[in-house]
Amino acid sequence: EKGGYRHFMLKEIYEQPRALADTIAGRALVEEGDVYLEDLDLDDAQLAGLEKIFIIACGTSWHAGLVGKFYLEKIARVPVEIDIASEFRYRDPIIPANSLTILVSQSGETADTLAALREAHGKGGKTLCICNVVDSSIARESDGIIYTHAGPEIGVASTKAFTTQLVALYLLALKLGRIRRSLSAADCQARLADLLELPRKLEETLELDAEIEELAREFVNARDFLYLGRGNLYPIALEGALKLKEISYIHAEGYPAGEMKHGPIALIDEDLPVVVLVPRNSTYDKVVSNMEEVCARGGQVIAVVSGDDEELLDKVAALISVPTVDEDLLPIITSVPMQLLAYYIAVLKGTDVDQPRNLAKSVTVE
Ligand code: M6R
C-alpha cells in the first residue's frame, strides 16, 4: 500500500505532481482566461460585493491560509484577515455582512476549525471550505466547498494536502480577480498557463531527492534550526520549521527574514543551520542582505534558490536549486525541498516518520 516507498510521507511527497494536476483539472479555463469552481455557493454579484475575507485554519492548513492572504489581496484586491481557529473562535470576531469566511482543513474534522465555522455561521457570515475529505463535517456544514484532490493523506505530516490547498487558494484568487476586474482575461490566461506547467516543474523539483538526502547527513546532529523567508515565502519558512519539528523532534523556528535583527539574530553561531528561502523574486535583494547578516555571524546557511544562483554559491554552506517559476508559484515549488529535508533528517534519526509521537492525523478534540 506504500507503493514501494519506505513511508507514506515519501509516497505522498511524490504524489504531488499528480495531486496538483487533479486539483487544477476542469477548473482552469485557459481559453476564456477564467476559472470554474463547481461548488462555491456564491453568485457573481455576491463575490463582486465581498468586502472582507477571513481565512481560518490550524497547523499546516493555517500556513496555506497565510499564502492565500497574499494571493487574494494581490490578485483579487480583497482585504483578508487570517487567524488560527482556536484563537478566532474565542475572540468574539466581528463578521461584517459582506464577508466570506474560508475554512482550510485537510481532514474536515479538526475540532477548532469546525467550531470556527459554526462561530462564523452563528454571526450570519457566508462560509466556504477548502477541504480534502469528501463529506467530512466541515465540508457538510460549509455553504460552499472547494475540494482539493490530493487523495487520501495517511502520513501525519501534511505534504500533498498543503500544496493542493495552495493551488485551490490560487484558483479562488484568480476567479475573484476576474469577477472583480482586478485581473484581466489575458493576465488570467498567462497565470493559468504557468499553473498548468507546475506539475511538471514539481516533477523536476523531486529530482533533488538524492541531493537533499545527502545534505540531511550533514545537519542531522543540529539541535536547532532557523528558517527564514519573506512575503509569500515566510509561510513556507513556518511550514519548513513545522515539518522538521513534528517528524524529527529537532527544535525549529520560522521567521520573517526582515525580523531577524529584532531579536533572533542573537541566536546565530556556527552550530545553527539557517534555511533561507531566497529564490529570484521581488524581494530577492532584501533577503540576500538578510542572509549575509547570518553568514557574517558564522551561521550555516542552506539557501533555497532558483536555477543556478552562482552569485550565492561561495557565501553559503549549501545550495538547493529549484526550477524557475512565477513568484506567486514559488511557495508551492519551494515546499518540496522543505518536505524532503525534514523527511531525510527524520529517517536518519530513526523516528516514526508517519506516526510521530504525541500527534494525531486529525485533531478532533480542542
Ligand atoms: O486536517 P486539518 O488540515 O484541519 O489539520 C490541521 C492540522 O492539525 C495539521 O495541518 C497539522 O498541523 C499537521 N500535522 C501538519 O503536518
Confidence of residue 309 (pLDDT cuts 50, 70, 90): confident
Cβ of residue 335 lying under 6 Å from some atom of ligand 1: no
Q: Identify the pLDDT of residue 174.
A: 98
Distance 337 CA to ligand 1 centre (A): 19
Q: Which of 67, 47, 13 is nearest to 207 (CA)?
A: 13
Cβ of residue 157 lying under 6 Å from some atom of ligand 1: yes
Which residues neighbour 280 within 8 Å (Cβ) at sequence distance 6 or greater? Answer: 305, 306, 307, 309, 324, 327
Q: What is the pLDDT of residues 115-126, one digit of tens each?
A: 999 999 999 999
In percent, how much of the chain has pLDDT > 90? 95
pLDDT at 308 over 90: no
Mean residue pLDDT of the chain comes to 96
> Would residue 361 show up in a list of annotated catalytic residues for this protein?
yes
In percent, how much of the chain has pLDDT > 70? 100
pLDDT at 88 over 90: yes
> Is 301:330 a contact under the CB 8 Å cutoff?
no
Question: Taking residues 43-66, what's their average pLDDT?
Answer: 97
Question: Taking residues 262-285, what's their average pLDDT?
Answer: 94
pLDDT at 310 over 90: no
Give me the torsion for CA of 73, 24, 38, 114, rounded to 10°: -60
Confidence of residue 311 (pLDDT cuts 50, 70, 90): confident
Place of cell 539557501: 303
DSSP H helix total and E strand total for the chain:
14, 12
Helical (H) or strand (E) element with 204 = helix 185-205
Distance 141 CA to ligand 1 centre (A): 19
pLDDT at 218 over 90: yes
**The model's pTM:** 0.98
> Is 128:41 a contact under the CB 8 Å cutoff?
yes
Q: Identify the pLDDT of residue 307.
A: 87
Cβ of residue 113 lying under 6 Å from some atom of ligand 1: yes
Identify the residue whose C-alpha is closest to ligand 1 atom 9: 59
Question: Which residues on neighbouring strands pair with residue 52, listed in sequence order?
Answer: 99
Answer left, alpha or beta for residue 229, where phi above 0 means left and psi between -120 and 50 means alpha.
Answer: beta
Question: Taking residues 339-348, what's their average pLDDT?
Answer: 98
Q: Identify the pLDDT of residue 129.
A: 98
Q: What is the pLDDT of residues 181-192, one digit of tens each?
A: 999 999 999 999
Cβ of residue 106 lying under 6 Å from some atom of ligand 1: yes
Distance 326 CA to ligand 1 centre (A): 27
Q: Is the ipTM of this complex over 0.95?
A: yes
Q: What is the pLDDT of residues 92-112, one digit of tens each?
A: 999 999 999 999 999 999 999
Q: Identify the pLDDT of residue 176.
A: 98
Helical (H) or strand (E) element with 167 = helix 160-179
Q: What is the rounded distance in angstroms from the CA atom of residue 273 to the CA atom of residue 296?
A: 14
Q: What is the pLDDT of residues 223-266, one digit of tens each?
A: 999 999 999 999 999 999 999 999 999 999 999 999 999 999 99
